Amino acid sequence: MLKALLFCPVRGNTWMKRYFRDYPIYLLPFANKPAIEFAFDYCFLCGIRDVRIVTDDDCLPLRSRYRDGQRHALNLSYAGTPPETPLQEVIARNMAFCGGSDLLVFSGLFLPDYDKRADISLEIAPDEVKGCSSGTTAWYLVGRDRLENLPCDQDSFRDSGPVAGSPVNDVGDYFKLNMLLCGGDVERYNLPGFSEGRNSFVGRDVTIASSARVKPPVILGNNILFGRGTFAGPGVVVGDNCIVDDGTVIRHSVVLGNTFIGRNLEIDGKICFGSRIIDPATRIVLDTPNSRIASEVEPPETSGCPAYQKFIAMLLFFLQSIPYILLRPFLELHDSLAECILAGGRRKAFRLHRYVLPAGSPAGRLFRMFTLDKYHMLPQAVAGKLRLVGNALLEANERNETVVRELPGYAPGVFSYGEYLGHGDEPPQLEFDEQYYDYAMNCWFNIKILTGILLRNLKTTGGALQQRGAME
């Protein structure tokens, strides 16, 4: 049996504080994927399911994001340790977790080398230690009988050991690895977004002006806007919620999430982080006082309904208005106020409409056929408060908050993938449907969901109406 211990010390990573301010170290993205998630994937491919994260800093950001590790098919636990604690003492403090098993140890900021398409076999004798140490970073495979006798001289480990990978000891390493991930065989890794061809990964809600150009290799996150005449690539990584203004050229650069880059600029070989531009070659940091050059983008306060969804929602609203007005006098309408979860974990009270129809009446059948139970929800999509097609809209309670925490891209919609499949909202089916939608969602998938639901309802000649109805 093999377990893993991820030792995430702040010590030795002071370069992070200089360049990326208060960014949580192990959430620093490589090709738009947090560093620690590469370690999670490596552990999973090794057959490891029990993983403990130990840090000498506040572990709340990690604990809030990953919880018990279910989304990564791991059993995660957490522990703290005083600053400057040596690795030997860290293992001793966590012997109740480590004892009786061979142990894979990652210490420091480290990017393992793996292929998601292949399993990894790690073997170690009970009294053996293998490993590699480089600066403040080390990785080991420790036999169960050596857990209490790990060598103090970590510098004695210079071979690659059983694990291949790259230490990240400064901003130059960080930039180099991002460029390698962007320009290399990215198919080896579980990267967010969907492939647009070799060495091209694109997230959702990426808007590219007709006069803009994107040249692979590129890795683009979610909710990105490229203005008129912009040019991105080759070798560009852009994080979530970024705006690149008109006429700007970006090559061989990393743009972290929530960053605005002004117009008519040329960015080459740089890292952009809010109002900060970093040259990884010279280690020079430029804090731009002019927000028209570069600045931080506030995370969106709405669910970010894309323009094409807003247009379709408006069209549906007008098409449904006439049948709704004609059928409304034959319906009994009851409503209730419910607090629902929106994108970013925000909450909003909606008035949910529940319709009581005369059983088997022509009005009831037509009401269901024309999907009029969604009529009052459509203005929410037009206003951008909901998506037209998105995650399931969940009422705020402890169970649903747990589901949402496992979905970093959660954005609820009028229609959902679970509704398309005809599934209910009970776990674990709800969690499975939402996680799959979060992974597979793109424009055409959303259109498939919408048309599938509308056409199915048109073929419906009766049946019970869903209890959860429209909102106003």
Q: What percent of the chain has pLDDT over 90?
A: 25
Comparing CA positions, the residue from 78, 98, 102 lying closest to residue 89 is 98
Cα–Cα distance for residue pair 140/6, rounded to 1 Å: 11
* Amino acid occupying residue 224: I
- For residues 274 and 291, is the Cβ–Cβ distance under 8 A? no
Cα–Cα distance for residue pair 24/10, rounded to 1 Å: 9
Long-range contacts at 245-254 (CB < 8 A, ≥ 24 apart): 246/209, 252/179, 254/175, 254/178, 254/179
**pLDDT on residue 463:** 44
**Cross-strand partners of 243:** 225, 260
- 470: three-class secondary structure by DSSP: coil
C-alpha torsion sign, points 6, 102, 132, 49: negative
Q: What global pTM score does this model have?
A: 0.67
Query: What angle is formed at CA 450 by the lines to CA 370 and CA 209, rounded to 5 degrees?
Result: 130
Comparing CA positions, the residue from 315, 280, 295, 289 lying closest to residue 244 is 295
**pLDDT on residue 373:** 82
Comparing CA positions, the residue from 162, 74, 166 lying closest to residue 121 is 162
Cα–Cα distance for residue pair 21/397, rounded to 1 Å: 34
Cα distances from 465 to residues 14, 331, 456, in angstroms, run: 59, 12, 14
**Least confident window among 103-107, 254-258, 403-407:** 403-407
Cα–Cα distance for residue pair 193/218, rounded to 1 Å: 12
Cα–Cα distance for residue pair 392/410, rounded to 1 Å: 9
The answer on pLDDT for 298 being more than 50 is: yes
Cα–Cα distance for residue pair 149/131, rounded to 1 Å: 14
Per-residue pLDDT tens digits for 184-216? 766 777 665 555 556 678 887 788 999 999 998
Half-sphere exposure of 349 (CA within 13 A, CB side): 3
Cα–Cα distance for residue pair 332/376, rounded to 1 Å: 15
Question: 186-296 — its CATH code?
Answer: 2.160.10
- Segments making up each domain of the chain, as ranges: 2-169, 186-296, 307-458
Highest mean pLDDT among 3-17, 141-155, 378-392, 394-408: 378-392
Cα–Cα distance for residue pair 329/470, rounded to 1 Å: 17
| pLDDT, average across residues 153-178 | 75
Indicate the helix (H) or strand (E) that contains 285: strand 284-287
Per-residue pLDDT tens digits for 87-121? 888 888 898 898 788 899 888 888 888 888 777 88
Comparing CA positions, the residue from 115, 149, 143 lying closest to residue 129 is 143
Per-residue pLDDT tens digits for 308-347? 889 999 999 999 999 988 888 887 766 666 778 887 667 7
- 97: three-class secondary structure by DSSP: helix
Pairing mode of beta strands 224-226, 253-255: unpaired
| DSSP state string for 270-283 | -EEETTEEEETTTT
10 vs 413, higher pLDDT: 413
- 347: three-class secondary structure by DSSP: strand
| pLDDT, average across residues 7-34 | 84
337 phi/psi in degrees, rounded to 5: -90, 125
| DSSP state string for 215-242 | -SSEEE-SSEEE-TT-EE-SSEEE-SS-
Cα–Cα distance for residue pair 173/30, rounded to 1 Å: 11
Comparing CA positions, the residue from 406, 400, 394 lying closest to residue 439 is 406
**pLDDT on residue 359:** 53
190: which 2 tokens?
């579980």
**pLDDT on residue 122:** 83
87: which 2 tokens?
């690795």
The answer on pLDDT for 288 being more than 50 is: yes
- For residues 403 and 394, is the Cβ–Cβ distance under 8 A? yes
Name residue, tokens 């991105």.
232
Q: What is the mean pLDDT of the chain?
A: 82
Cα–Cα distance for residue pair 136/290, rounded to 1 Å: 36
CATH domain 2-169 topology: Spore Coat Polysaccharide Biosynthesis Protein SpsA; Chain A (3.90.550)
- 294: three-class secondary structure by DSSP: strand
